[in-house]
A and B are shown apart, each in its own frame.
Chain A
Amino acid sequence: MFVAPAFAQSADEGAAGETHTETGVEHGSGHEAGFPPFDSSTFPSQLLWLAITFGLFYLFLKRVALPRIGNILEVRRDRIAQDLDQAARMKDEADAAVAAYEQELAEARKKANVIGQEARDQAKAEAEAERRKVEARLDEQLSEADERIATIKSTAMKDVGAIAEETAALIVQELIGSKADKSAVAAAVKAVRQ
Chain B
Amino acid sequence: MANDPIHQFQISKLIPIEIGGLDFSFTNSAAFMVATVAASGAFLFLTTSSRGLVPGRLQSISEMLYEFVASMLRDAAGSHGMKFFPFVFSLFMFVLVGNLLGLFPYFFTITSHIIVTFALALLVIGTVIVYGFWKHGLGFLKLFVPSGVPAVLVPLVVLIEVVSFLSRPVSLSVRLFANMLAGHITLKVFAGFVTSLSAFGVAGMAGAVLPFVMVVAITGLEILVAFLQAYVFAVLTCMYLNDALHPGH
Contact = CB atoms under 8 A, between A and B. Distances in A.
Nearest to B36: A53
B146 to A, nearest CB: 27
Most B-side CB within 10 Å, residue of A47, A56, A68, A72: A72
Interface string B9-25: 11111000100111111
Contact of A46 (B48, B93, B113): B113
Max chain B CB contacts within 10 Å: which of A3, A14, A57?
Answer: A57
Contacts of B30: 45-46, 49, 53
A8 to B, nearest CB: 8
Nearest to A8: B23
Interface in B1-55: 6, 9-13, 17, 20-27, 29-30, 33-34, 36-37, 40-41, 44-45, 48, 51-53, 55
A36 B114 contact: no
Contacts of A70: 66
Contacts of A62: 86, 90
A172 interface: no
A14 B18 CA distance: 11
If over half of B's interface residues share one DSSP class (helix, strand or loop), that class is named, otherwise mixed; here it is: helix
Interface residues of B, number: 56
Given A53-B34, A58-B86, A61-B86, A36 B41 contact: no
Nearest to B14: A1
Contact of B116 (A1, A24, A36, A50): A50
B68 to A, nearest CB: 12
B23 A41 contact: yes
Given A37-B177, A69-B63, A11 B119 contact: no
B27 A46 contact: yes
B216 interface: no
Contacts, number: 155
Interface in B92-125: 93-94, 110, 112-116, 118-120, 122
Interface in A1-46: 1-3, 7, 11, 14-15, 18-19, 22-24, 26-27, 35-39, 41-46
A48 B86 CA distance: 21
A73 interface: yes
Query: DSSP majority for the A interface?
Result: helix
A57 B40 contact: yes
B75 interface: no
Nearest to B25: A45
B29 A49 contact: yes
Contact of A66 (B25, B29, B52, B66): B66
Contacts of B9: 35-37
B85 interface: yes
B90 A1 contact: no
Contacts of B112: 37
A80 to B, nearest CB: 10
Interface in A48-86: 48-51, 53-54, 56-58, 60-62, 64-66, 68-73, 75-76, 79
